[in-house]
Amino acid sequence: MAAMSCTLYPTSYKTYPYVKTRVSISCSSQSQSNVKVIINGAAKEIGRAAVLAVTRARGMEVAGAVDTRFVGQDIGQLCDMEEPLEIPVINDLTMVLGSISQSKATGVVIDFTDPSTVYDNVKQAMAFGMKSVVYVPSIEADTITALSALCEKATTGCLVAPTLSIGSILLQQAAIQAAFHYSNVEIVESRENARDFPSPDAIQIANNLSNIGQIYNKEDLSTDVLARGQVLGEDGVRVHSLVLPGLPSSTTVYFSGPGEIYTLKHDITDVQSLMPGLILAIRKVVRLKNLVYGLEKFL
Protein backbone atom coordinates (compact mmCIF):
# COMPACT_ATOMS: atom_id res chain seq x y z
CA MET A 1 0.00 0.00 0.00
CA ALA A 2 1.33 3.45 -0.85
CA ALA A 3 0.51 6.94 0.35
CA MET A 4 1.20 10.37 -1.06
CA SER A 5 1.40 13.68 0.76
CA CYS A 6 2.08 17.06 -0.89
CA THR A 7 2.14 20.33 1.01
CA LEU A 8 2.96 23.96 0.15
CA TYR A 9 5.30 25.73 2.55
CA PRO A 10 5.49 29.46 1.76
CA THR A 11 8.30 31.36 3.51
CA SER A 12 7.70 34.91 4.74
CA TYR A 13 11.08 35.44 6.36
CA LYS A 14 14.64 34.35 5.71
CA THR A 15 15.67 31.21 7.55
CA TYR A 16 19.25 31.24 6.42
CA PRO A 17 21.31 34.29 5.55
CA TYR A 18 22.82 32.94 2.37
CA VAL A 19 20.39 30.45 0.87
CA LYS A 20 16.95 31.22 -0.54
CA THR A 21 14.34 28.71 0.50
CA ARG A 22 11.83 27.36 -1.95
CA VAL A 23 8.24 28.41 -1.81
CA SER A 24 7.06 24.82 -2.21
CA ILE A 25 8.19 21.34 -1.37
CA SER A 26 7.64 18.55 -3.85
CA CYS A 27 6.85 15.08 -2.67
CA SER A 28 6.31 11.55 -3.84
CA SER A 29 4.55 8.37 -2.88
CA GLN A 30 6.28 6.04 -0.43
CA SER A 31 5.76 2.46 0.63
CA GLN A 32 4.61 1.94 4.19
CA SER A 33 7.30 -0.68 4.84
CA ASN A 34 9.93 0.22 7.42
CA VAL A 35 12.34 2.99 6.48
CA LYS A 36 15.94 1.77 6.75
CA VAL A 37 17.93 4.27 8.79
CA ILE A 38 21.72 4.53 8.69
CA ILE A 39 23.26 6.59 11.48
CA ASN A 40 26.57 8.19 10.58
CA GLY A 41 28.24 9.22 13.82
CA ALA A 42 26.51 6.43 15.72
CA ALA A 43 29.06 6.23 18.55
CA LYS A 44 28.51 9.85 19.60
CA GLU A 45 26.12 10.63 22.44
CA ILE A 46 23.51 11.91 20.01
CA GLY A 47 24.13 8.94 17.71
CA ARG A 48 23.43 6.48 20.49
CA ALA A 49 20.29 8.37 21.47
CA ALA A 50 19.22 8.21 17.81
CA VAL A 51 19.71 4.44 17.71
CA LEU A 52 17.36 4.04 20.68
CA ALA A 53 14.81 6.52 19.30
CA VAL A 54 14.68 4.94 15.84
CA THR A 55 14.43 1.44 17.32
CA ARG A 56 11.40 2.49 19.35
CA ALA A 57 9.69 4.47 16.57
CA ARG A 58 7.04 2.93 14.34
CA GLY A 59 7.72 2.52 10.65
CA MET A 60 11.52 2.67 10.78
CA GLU A 61 14.48 0.60 11.89
CA VAL A 62 18.22 0.98 12.36
CA ALA A 63 19.90 -0.65 9.37
CA GLY A 64 23.47 0.59 9.72
CA ALA A 65 25.83 2.27 12.17
CA VAL A 66 28.88 4.20 10.92
CA ASP A 67 31.66 5.65 13.04
CA THR A 68 35.44 5.67 13.37
CA ARG A 69 35.22 4.54 17.01
CA PHE A 70 34.14 1.20 18.46
CA VAL A 71 34.44 -0.43 15.04
CA GLY A 72 33.13 -3.99 15.09
CA GLN A 73 31.08 -3.60 18.26
CA ASP A 74 27.35 -4.21 18.15
CA ILE A 75 25.58 -0.85 18.17
CA GLY A 76 22.79 -2.22 20.35
CA GLN A 77 25.22 -3.31 23.04
CA LEU A 78 27.05 0.00 22.71
CA CYS A 79 23.74 1.70 23.50
CA ASP A 80 23.18 -0.58 26.52
CA MET A 81 20.14 -2.21 24.96
CA GLU A 82 18.89 -5.44 26.51
CA GLU A 83 19.39 -7.35 23.28
CA PRO A 84 22.06 -6.78 20.61
CA LEU A 85 20.83 -5.42 17.30
CA GLU A 86 23.34 -7.57 15.42
CA ILE A 87 24.48 -4.44 13.60
CA PRO A 88 28.22 -3.84 13.94
CA VAL A 89 29.72 -0.37 13.86
CA ILE A 90 31.51 0.06 10.52
CA ASN A 91 33.84 2.89 9.51
CA ASP A 92 32.96 2.71 5.81
CA LEU A 93 29.77 4.56 4.80
CA THR A 94 29.92 3.32 1.21
CA MET A 95 29.94 -0.31 2.34
CA VAL A 96 26.85 0.20 4.49
CA LEU A 97 25.03 2.10 1.75
CA GLY A 98 25.76 -0.64 -0.77
CA SER A 99 24.45 -3.32 1.55
CA ILE A 100 21.21 -1.49 2.31
CA SER A 101 20.56 -0.45 -1.28
CA GLN A 102 20.36 -4.08 -2.36
CA SER A 103 17.15 -4.48 -0.34
CA LYS A 104 15.42 -1.83 -2.52
CA ALA A 105 13.89 -0.38 0.66
CA THR A 106 13.52 3.34 1.38
CA GLY A 107 16.69 4.50 3.09
CA VAL A 108 17.63 7.59 5.11
CA VAL A 109 21.11 8.53 6.29
CA ILE A 110 21.35 10.57 9.50
CA ASP A 111 24.54 12.64 9.47
CA PHE A 112 26.03 13.64 12.84
CA THR A 113 29.58 13.91 11.55
CA ASP A 114 31.58 17.02 10.66
CA PRO A 115 31.07 20.08 8.40
CA SER A 116 34.02 19.04 6.24
CA THR A 117 32.47 15.68 5.35
CA VAL A 118 28.79 16.57 4.98
CA TYR A 119 28.81 17.24 1.24
CA ASP A 120 30.56 13.98 0.37
CA ASN A 121 28.31 12.02 2.74
CA VAL A 122 25.12 13.38 1.20
CA LYS A 123 26.51 12.80 -2.30
CA GLN A 124 27.31 9.18 -1.45
CA ALA A 125 23.85 8.59 0.00
CA MET A 126 22.30 10.13 -3.09
CA ALA A 127 24.31 7.82 -5.36
CA PHE A 128 22.63 4.87 -3.64
CA GLY A 129 19.16 6.44 -3.87
CA MET A 130 18.92 7.49 -0.22
CA LYS A 131 17.78 10.73 1.41
CA SER A 132 19.74 12.50 4.15
CA VAL A 133 19.01 14.31 7.39
CA VAL A 134 21.95 16.51 8.37
CA TYR A 135 22.42 17.76 11.93
CA VAL A 136 25.94 19.14 11.98
CA PRO A 137 26.73 22.49 13.64
CA SER A 138 28.54 25.29 11.81
CA ILE A 139 28.07 24.14 8.23
CA GLU A 140 29.47 26.75 5.85
CA ALA A 141 27.06 28.67 3.63
CA ASP A 142 28.91 27.48 0.51
CA THR A 143 28.30 23.88 1.55
CA ILE A 144 24.58 24.49 1.91
CA THR A 145 24.48 26.16 -1.50
CA ALA A 146 26.35 23.26 -3.11
CA LEU A 147 24.08 20.70 -1.45
CA SER A 148 21.00 22.56 -2.63
CA ALA A 149 22.24 22.50 -6.22
CA LEU A 150 23.16 18.82 -5.92
CA CYS A 151 19.71 17.85 -4.62
CA GLU A 152 17.93 19.90 -7.26
CA LYS A 153 19.94 18.31 -10.06
CA ALA A 154 19.31 14.79 -8.75
CA THR A 155 15.72 15.48 -7.63
CA THR A 156 16.60 13.99 -4.27
CA GLY A 157 15.56 15.14 -0.81
CA CYS A 158 17.80 16.35 1.99
CA LEU A 159 16.86 18.06 5.23
CA VAL A 160 19.53 20.24 6.84
CA ALA A 161 18.49 21.04 10.41
CA PRO A 162 20.32 23.74 12.37
CA THR A 163 18.39 22.41 15.35
CA LEU A 164 16.37 19.28 16.01
CA SER A 165 14.84 20.78 19.14
CA ILE A 166 11.13 21.48 18.67
CA GLY A 167 11.25 23.73 21.74
CA SER A 168 13.99 25.82 20.17
CA ILE A 169 11.96 26.23 17.00
CA LEU A 170 8.89 27.28 18.98
CA LEU A 171 11.01 29.88 20.78
CA GLN A 172 12.19 31.25 17.43
CA GLN A 173 8.64 31.49 16.14
CA ALA A 174 7.47 33.25 19.32
CA ALA A 175 10.40 35.67 19.04
CA ILE A 176 9.33 36.66 15.54
CA GLN A 177 5.84 37.49 16.78
CA ALA A 178 7.20 39.49 19.72
CA ALA A 179 9.59 41.48 17.53
CA PHE A 180 6.69 43.27 15.86
CA HIS A 181 5.79 44.83 19.22
CA TYR A 182 9.16 45.57 20.89
CA SER A 183 12.14 47.62 19.71
CA ASN A 184 14.64 46.40 22.31
CA VAL A 185 15.92 42.84 22.21
CA GLU A 186 18.92 40.95 23.60
CA ILE A 187 19.85 37.26 23.37
CA VAL A 188 21.61 35.52 26.26
CA GLU A 189 22.84 31.98 25.77
CA SER A 190 24.87 29.47 27.77
CA ARG A 191 26.82 26.40 26.68
CA GLU A 192 29.36 24.13 28.35
CA ASN A 193 32.11 25.11 25.92
CA ALA A 194 32.85 28.02 23.60
CA ARG A 195 33.44 26.22 20.31
CA ASP A 196 30.18 27.35 18.71
CA PHE A 197 29.62 30.95 19.80
CA PRO A 198 27.46 32.60 18.75
CA SER A 199 25.45 29.41 18.59
CA PRO A 200 23.41 28.40 15.52
CA ASP A 201 20.28 29.07 17.59
CA ALA A 202 21.33 32.66 18.36
CA ILE A 203 22.31 33.29 14.74
CA GLN A 204 18.99 31.89 13.53
CA ILE A 205 16.99 34.07 15.93
CA ALA A 206 18.95 37.19 14.95
CA ASN A 207 18.50 36.46 11.24
CA ASN A 208 14.77 35.96 11.69
CA LEU A 209 14.39 39.22 13.62
CA SER A 210 16.45 41.12 11.06
CA ASN A 211 13.89 40.66 8.31
CA ILE A 212 10.80 42.36 9.64
CA GLY A 213 11.76 46.02 9.29
CA GLN A 214 12.70 46.77 12.90
CA ILE A 215 15.83 48.52 14.17
CA TYR A 216 16.59 47.35 17.72
CA ASN A 217 18.38 48.94 20.66
CA LYS A 218 18.60 52.33 18.96
CA GLU A 219 19.89 54.05 22.11
CA ASP A 220 23.32 52.38 21.84
CA LEU A 221 23.22 50.88 18.37
CA SER A 222 26.67 52.19 17.48
CA THR A 223 28.45 51.57 20.80
CA ASP A 224 31.78 49.76 20.66
CA VAL A 225 31.75 48.73 24.34
CA LEU A 226 32.66 45.03 24.28
CA ALA A 227 30.58 44.26 27.35
CA ARG A 228 27.45 45.12 25.36
CA GLY A 229 27.86 41.89 23.44
CA GLN A 230 28.18 41.05 19.75
CA VAL A 231 25.77 42.50 17.21
CA LEU A 232 24.30 39.84 14.93
CA GLY A 233 22.87 40.94 11.62
CA GLU A 234 22.33 44.52 10.51
CA ASP A 235 19.44 45.56 12.74
CA GLY A 236 21.06 45.76 16.18
CA VAL A 237 20.23 42.37 17.74
CA ARG A 238 22.86 41.68 20.42
CA VAL A 239 23.95 38.33 21.84
CA HIS A 240 25.73 37.58 25.12
CA SER A 241 27.30 34.15 25.54
CA LEU A 242 28.08 32.35 28.80
CA VAL A 243 30.45 29.41 29.16
CA LEU A 244 29.80 27.78 32.52
CA PRO A 245 30.17 24.02 33.03
CA GLY A 246 27.12 22.68 34.81
CA LEU A 247 24.67 25.08 33.19
CA PRO A 248 22.17 23.57 30.76
CA SER A 249 22.35 24.52 27.11
CA SER A 250 20.11 27.55 27.27
CA THR A 251 18.81 30.33 25.03
CA THR A 252 16.94 33.33 26.42
CA VAL A 253 15.52 36.23 24.41
CA TYR A 254 14.67 39.41 26.28
CA PHE A 255 12.28 41.97 24.79
CA SER A 256 11.47 45.23 26.52
CA GLY A 257 9.11 48.15 26.13
CA PRO A 258 7.96 50.99 28.36
CA GLY A 259 7.29 49.48 31.78
CA GLU A 260 7.60 45.82 30.82
CA ILE A 261 9.99 42.99 29.97
CA TYR A 262 8.96 39.99 27.91
CA THR A 263 11.19 36.91 28.25
CA LEU A 264 11.37 33.76 26.16
CA LYS A 265 13.59 30.94 27.44
CA HIS A 266 14.44 27.43 26.35
CA ASP A 267 16.73 24.97 28.17
CA ILE A 268 18.08 21.66 26.89
CA THR A 269 19.13 19.36 29.71
CA ASP A 270 19.51 16.11 27.76
CA VAL A 271 20.12 15.01 24.19
CA GLN A 272 16.83 13.11 24.39
CA SER A 273 15.08 16.43 23.77
CA LEU A 274 16.27 16.27 20.14
CA MET A 275 14.78 12.87 19.38
CA PRO A 276 11.17 13.88 18.61
CA GLY A 277 12.54 16.34 16.08
CA LEU A 278 14.80 13.68 14.58
CA ILE A 279 11.95 11.20 14.16
CA LEU A 280 9.85 13.93 12.54
CA ALA A 281 12.74 14.75 10.19
CA ILE A 282 13.06 11.11 9.10
CA ARG A 283 9.34 10.84 8.40
CA LYS A 284 9.35 14.03 6.31
CA VAL A 285 12.59 13.69 4.34
CA VAL A 286 11.47 10.49 2.59
CA ARG A 287 8.92 12.57 0.64
CA LEU A 288 11.28 15.38 -0.34
CA LYS A 289 12.76 15.92 -3.78
CA ASN A 290 14.86 18.96 -2.94
CA LEU A 291 16.91 20.40 -0.09
CA VAL A 292 15.00 21.97 2.78
CA TYR A 293 16.80 24.06 5.37
CA GLY A 294 15.19 24.00 8.81
CA LEU A 295 12.89 21.58 10.59
CA GLU A 296 10.46 24.47 11.23
CA LYS A 297 9.05 24.00 7.69
CA PHE A 298 7.23 20.92 9.01
CA LEU A 299 5.79 22.32 12.23
Mean pLDDT in consecutive groups of 10 residues from the start of the chain, 299 residues: 46 45 47 86 98 97 97 97 96 95 92 96 96 92 96 96 95 95 94 79 89 84 81 87 86 96 96 97 97 94
Q: In the CATH scheme, what architecture does the domain 35-160+273-298 have?
A: 3-Layer(aba) Sandwich (3.40)
In sequence order, the β-bridge partners of residue 255 are 185, 262
Q: How high is the pLDDT of residue 213? A: 82
What CA–CA distance (Å, rounded) separates 274 from 201? Answer: 14
Q: Of 232, 134, 227, whose CA–CA distance to 175 is shortest?
A: 232
How many C-alpha atoms does 291 have within 13 Å on its Cβ side?
Answer: 24
Q: How high is the pLDDT of residue 32? A: 57
Q: Spell out the residues 6+ positions from residue 172 whose beta carbon is closer than 8 angstroms to its own.
A: 201, 204, 205, 208, 296
Give the residue range(s) of CATH 3.30.360.10 domains in the chain: 166-268
Q: How high is the pLDDT of residue 198? A: 86
Q: Of 52, 265, 274, whose CA–CA distance to 166 is shortest?
A: 274
Q: Of 26, 205, 247, 222, whose CA–CA distance to 131 is shortest?
A: 26
In sequence order, the β-bridge partners of residue 47 are none
Are 150 and 123 in contact by the 8 Å Cβ rule? The answer is yes
Strand, coil or helix: what is 69?
Answer: coil
Give me the torsion for CA of 163, 164, 167, 170, rounded to 10°: 60
To which CATH superfamily is domain 166-268 assigned? Dihydrodipicolinate Reductase; domain 2 (3.30.360.10)
Q: How high is the pLDDT of residue 218? A: 84
Pairing outcome for strands 184-191 and 237-243: parallel
Give the residue range(s) of CATH 3.40.50.720 domains in the chain: 35-160+273-298
